[in-house]
Every structure is written in structure tokens, then in C-alpha cells.
């Protein structure tokens, strides 16, 4: 309802002269004025029209003002309808008026002061308009909330379907990688072995160039074997079940350090790690692999004379969030545009002859293991200053 829409005012009195006088008093308000000569006629109007205010004489023959008010307020449709009694008797302390406590009820005594009547009617008319407006806005809001909820639900359903599809196709891709890499190994072994035989049996008959080419074949087939092995390893990660065993990360750390000892000693790397790390749930071999991969990269991609690696748990604990572990180094750093790319399979940022080479699978494996444990891994780095890899484990893997 627009703000200035007129409201209906029903004036009820058995004396036409009085009705006329009310009309004169109220006509200046610009509302719709409806006249009724009796309680019954008033009810007929009420049934047909939306009435904002009923102005009525308390004492009328047949159906008096109080009886009519009783009927009006019993009906839910008229709950917003205000009633103004016109009475020759002083009604303020009357028990009768208290009976209408639920509806907007007022009275005006005779002789009527026109300004007072106009003011009372005007207040009730505005109240009615505002209540209606509020109800309409509420309904609109409810409608919008309902629409939004429905939208969200359908987006949610789509997302769930997409997720299921993604999981399925990821699984298929893993299966494919597993089968392909498995089957590719045999012919590759053949190429490698036959190249060797050729060198051994016919080495003296081959010139230097042919020998070098054969050596390249052997080298490339070895590299390809390494790639296939890592692909096979990668596709096996989430086949490992269950991962709900308690694992002491202090033990994991010791195992990892033992494996890395030759590298640590050779490069004289300072390793910093708290004496005790938390216990988590997971697969200890896989978690050891995460630490080994991150630490060996920390040592490998480091050009400083005094290299260090720090392993630990972040001090800042966000309530309800799992602990955040980190592996930090003072190495070469990673440019921000590669922060996501380094986790892609076979993605390397350096030529094969730099930083000891590699096949670009280490971080992809780390990511898959962490995700297999319900967690996340991410990197923060400053080129030239060092890199920190952070990771969490899922809530179910946090003890
Ligand atoms: P690889 O070490 O075999 O290349 P990774 O998947 O372990 O494979 O790493 C991918 C790339 O990310 C590396 O080639 C390297 O450029 C970069 N990288 C990984 N760890 C670090 C690190 N701690 N500091 C700097 N660069 C890193």
C-alpha cells in the first residue's frame, strides 16, 4: 500500500444528523468515510471492506457499540481495526473498556471537540497504514528469504553433485595413472635393458657418436622410469587405509631426520625443532614422507652458506581450528606467482642441472597426503630470504 493511500473509516450511529456532523469534522483528513445507521449495517460493511477505524456511538438500539466491538475484535481479520467509542458517559474507568485491551480502542466524550476527534482518527489512520506497510514489507522479506534459501539449496545440491562427480573422475584418473604407469614400466625396462646389451655386445663396433646416443637412451629411460615410479606412487597415496592410527610426530620427525642425515651432514644444515611435537592421527609412513619432502626441498633450494631448517607448530591457536605445522628455511624463496603452481605434478621452476635436479613430484605428493588426512598445505615465501610451508591435518586427525 503506497504511503498516502486512503484508509476506510466506518462511522456508526442511529442518528443521521450525528453521522453528518462526524462527516463534516473528518472530511478534512482526506480518508474514505463510510456511514452506517446501525450495528447490523456496520457489520455488512465490515464484511465487504477493509476498515481501519470504526467510530461508533456506545448506545444504539438492536446492537449497541460494545456488542459490535466484541464481534469485531473476535474476528482475526479485524485485529488491526481501531475502535473509537463516542459516549455521553465518562468511560475511562469503566470496566467495559478494559474488555477490549487487545485491540486499539479509544473513546471520545460528548460534546465532541472536533480537533480532538480529528487528532484521534488521524493517529489511528496513520497507525493502520504503517502496520499494513510493515506487514507488506515483512511478507516481501519473508518471500525474499524463502527465494534466497531455495537458491542456496539448489546451489548446494549442484555443488554436492559436482563434488561427487569430481571425486569420481579423480578416482578414475588415479586408477588410470595407476594402470598406465604400471603397464608402462615393462616396455621401458625392455628399452633400458636392450640399450645396455647393445652397448655391452656391440660397444667396440659403435663409433663415439652412436655410443653417446645409446648412453642418452639409457639416461632418458632411467628418468622416465623415475617419472613413472613417482606417478605410480602418487596414485597409490589415497589407497592406503585406514589413517586413523595415533602417530607421535616426535617419532615421525626422528625417522625423517634419520633419512635426511646424509644431506644434513653434507651441507652442514642446522635443524631446529621442538623436543616434543603433538600426537596426531594418520599414516606414519606418509607423514614421514611429508616431512622428508619438505625438509629435503628446504635444504635443496638453499644457496646460503649457513643453511637452516626449522620445523614446528604455530603458537597462535585459533579456537575450533586444527594446529598449524610448518617447515621453514632460509633458502632461495619462491616468487608469489608460483605459490599454487609448485604443487602441480611434474612442475619445476628450475632447469634440470640446477639445485640437484628433480622430477617435480615431491610437493604434489605432500599435497595429496595432507588432503588424504583431511588437511591443507600452503606456502609463504620471500624471494632470496626463505620459504615456509604450512600444513594442517583434518579435525578427525587431530588428537
Ligand atoms: P622437485 O624438487 O623435484 O622439483 P617438488 O614438487 O618438490 O619437486 O618442488 C617443485 C618446485 O617447487 C621445485 O622445483 C622448486 O622450484 C620449488 N620449491 C619447492 N620447495 C622449495 C623451497 N623450500 N624453496 C624454494 N623453492 C622450492
For 137-167, how does the pLDDT look when each residue is reduced to its tens digit (9 = 90+)? 999 999 999 999 999 999 999 999 999 999 8
- Residue nearest atom 13 in ligand 1 by C-alpha distance: 348
Q: Above pLDDT 70, what percent of the chain? A: 93
Decide if pLDDT at 296 tops 70: yes
Nearest to 55 by CA among 9, 120, 110, 115: 9
Mean pLDDT value across residues 162-176 = 87
Between 6-10, 62-66, 376-380, the lowest mean confidence (pLDDT) is in 62-66
Mean pLDDT value across residues 270-282 = 94
Cα–Cα distance for residue pair 299/263, rounded to 1 Å? 8
Distances (CA, A) of 223 to 358, 361, 372: 10, 13, 28
For all residues of the chain together, what is the average pLDDT? Answer: 88
Q: Which atom of ligand 1 is nearest to the CA of 365?
A: 6
Task: Quote the DSSP letter at residue 92.
Answer: T
Mean pLDDT value across residues 310-327 = 90
Measured in angstroms, how far is the CA atom of residue 108 from the centroid of ligand 1? 88
pLDDT recorded at residue 243: 65
pLDDT digits (tens, 9 = 90+) for 9-60: 999 998 999 999 999 999 999 999 999 998 889 889 988 889 999 998 877 6
Please indicate whether residue 65 or residue 85 has the higher confidence score (pLDDT): 85
Measured in angstroms, how far is the CA atom of residue 378 from the centroid of ligand 1? 13
Contact 365, 237 (CB under 8 A): yes
Nearest to 255 by CA among 217, 292, 281: 292
Query: In this structure, are strands 377-382 and 386-391 parallel, antiparallel, or unpaired?
Result: antiparallel
Measured in angstroms, how far is the CA atom of residue 164 from the centroid of ligand 1? 31
Cα–Cα distance for residue pair 311/313, rounded to 1 Å? 7
Q: What is the largest CA-CA distance in the chain?
A: 136
Nearest to 329 by CA among 252, 394, 270, 373: 270
Cell 646416443 belongs to which residue? 213
Q: Above pLDDT 90, what percent of the chain? A: 59
pLDDT recorded at residue 147: 96
Measured in angstroms, how far is the CA atom of residue 397 from the centroid of ligand 1? 26
Nearest to 387 by CA among 273, 321, 287, 302: 302
Cα–Cα distance for residue pair 54/121, rounded to 1 Å? 9
CB 363 near ligand 1, within 6 Å: yes
CB 375 near ligand 1, within 6 Å: no
CB 359 near ligand 1, within 6 Å: yes
Question: Is residue 249 classed exposed, middle or buried when 0-12, 13-18 and 19+ CB atoms within 10 A define those classes?
Answer: buried
Which stretches within 6-113 are classed as H helix?
Answer: 16-26, 39-48, 65-74, 95-98
Nearest to 81 by CA among 47, 100, 53, 117: 53
Cα–Cα distance for residue pair 310/330, rounded to 1 Å? 9
Confidence band (pLDDT; 50, 70, 90) for 91? low
Cα–Cα distance for residue pair 286/232, rounded to 1 Å? 15
Q: Which segments within the chain are labelled E, that is strand?
A: 8-12, 32-36, 53-57, 82-87, 105-109, 246-248, 270-272, 279-281, 308-313, 325-329, 377-382, 386-391
pTM above 0.85, yes or no: no
Amino acid at each position: 500500500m503506497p504511503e498516502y493511500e486512503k484508509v476506510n473509516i466506518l462511522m456508526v450511529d442511529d442518528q443521521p444528523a450525528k453521522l453528518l456532523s462526524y462527516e463534516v469534522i473528518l472530511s478534512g483528513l482526506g480518508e474514505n468515510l463510510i456511514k452506517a445507521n446501525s450495528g447490523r449495517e456496520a457489520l455488512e460493511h465490515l464484511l465487504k471492506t477493509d476498515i481501519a477505524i470504526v467510530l461508533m456511538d456506545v448506545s444504539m438500539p438492536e446492537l449497541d457499540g460494545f456488542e459490535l466491538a466484541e464481534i469485531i475484535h473476535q474476528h482475526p481479520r479485524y485485529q488491526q481495526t481501531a475502535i473509537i467509542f463516542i459516549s455521553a458517559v465518562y468511560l475511562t474507568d469503566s470496566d467495559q473498556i478494559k474488555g477490549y485491551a487487545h485491540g486499539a480502542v479509544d473513546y471520545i466524550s460528548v460534546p465532541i471537540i472536533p480537533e480532538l476527534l480529528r487528532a484521534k482518527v488521524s493517529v489511528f489512520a496513520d497507525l493502520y497504514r504503517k502496520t499494513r506497510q510493515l506487514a507488506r514489507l515483512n511478507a516481501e522479506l519473508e518471500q525474499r528469504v524463502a527465494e534466497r534459501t531455495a537458491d542456496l539449496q539448489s546451489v548446494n545440491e549442484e555443488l554436492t553433485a559436482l563434488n561427487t562427480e569430481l571425486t569420481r573422475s579423480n578416482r578414475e584418473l588415479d586408477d588410470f595413472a595407476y594402470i598406465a604407469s604400471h603397464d608402462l614400466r615393462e616396455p621401458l625396462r625392455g628399452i633400458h635393458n636392450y640399450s645396455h646389451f647393445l652397448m655391452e655386445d656391440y660397444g667396440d663396433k659403435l663409433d663415439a657418436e652412436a655410443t653417446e646416443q645409446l648412453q642418452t637412451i639409457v639416461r632418458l629411460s632411467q628418468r622416465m622410469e623415475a617419472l613413472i615410479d613417482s606417478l605410480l606412487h602418487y596414485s597409490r597415496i589415497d589407497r592406503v587405509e585406514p589413517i586413523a592410527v595415533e602417530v607421535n610426530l616426535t617419532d615421525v620427525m626422528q625417522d625423517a631426520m634419520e633419512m635426511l642425515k646424509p644431506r644434513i651432514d653434507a651441507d652442514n644444515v642446522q635443524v631446529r625443532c621442538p623436543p616434543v611435537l603433538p600426537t596426531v592421527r594418520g599414516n606414519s609412513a606418509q607423514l614421514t614422507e611429508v616431512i622428508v619432502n619438505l625438509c629435503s626441498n628446504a635444504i635443496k633450494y638453499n644457496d646460503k652458506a649457513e643453511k637452516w631448517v626449522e620445523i614446528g607448530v604455530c603458537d597462535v591457536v585459533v579456537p575450533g581450528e586444527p594446529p598449524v605445522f610448518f617447515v621453514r628455511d632460509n633458502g632461495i624463496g619462491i616468487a608469489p606467482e608460483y605459490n599454487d603452481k609448485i604443487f602441480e605434478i611434474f612442475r619445476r621452476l628450475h632447469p634440470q642441472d640446477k639445485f640437484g635436479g628433480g622430477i617435480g613430484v615431491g610437493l604434489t605428493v605432500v599435497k595429496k597426503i595432507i588432503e588424504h588426512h583431511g588437511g591443507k598445505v600452503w606456502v609463504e615465501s620471500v624471494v632470496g630470504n626463505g620459504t615456509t610451508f604450512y600444513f594442517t591435518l583434518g579435525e578427525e586427525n587431530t588428537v
